[in-house]
Amino acid sequence: MKTVRWFALILPATLAATVPAALISSPTAFATPAINTEVVVISQATLDGVEYITREITIQPGGSTGWHFHDGRVFGVVRSGTLTRTFADCTDVVSPVGSAVTEESGPDHVHNGRNLGPDPVVLWVDYIQPAGAPLSVEVPDPGCAIG
């Protein structure tokens, strides 16, 4: 199920009324949202300004996390399926069921998790990050021309 954000419906009309046409027609790189990905929070706690969050992430066949990076550290395990992560240099890392997955923090570690297989990918993921920070920051495709 695809989520339609309310601002996607209102913002274009507002921009058309207030922004000169030359600015609207200029090319802009947009973030790439997750596709066919579901998330369930398993646990969450904050201690001394640090959040500890565990989530189950399911990526359906053909789905992806979208291009993003994390402000904190991420550790996980592939519980089922095969996860393919593409990094900003367009290299892939393939992680089959049972694989440990770690991701460094910051905008120098942009990636996109994809399910190229026939079965759902299920991940159990732990986030350790500053309290109140977003779990991920969406960014535009760095030029790898994938979903």
Q: Tokens for 53?
A: 């969050």
Each residue of 105-143: pLDDT tens digit? 999 999 999 999 999 999 999 999 999 999 999 999 999
pTM of the entire predicted model: 0.77
Domain edges within the chain: 32-138
- The CATH number corresponding to 32-138 among 2.30.30.40, 2.60.120.10, 3.40.50.970, 3.30.110.30 equals 2.60.120.10
Each residue of 31-76: pLDDT tens digit? 788 999 999 999 999 999 999 999 999 999 999 999 999 999 999 9
Q: What are phi and psi of 46, to 5 degrees?
A: -125, 130
Confidence of residue 6 (pLDDT cuts 50, 70, 90): very low
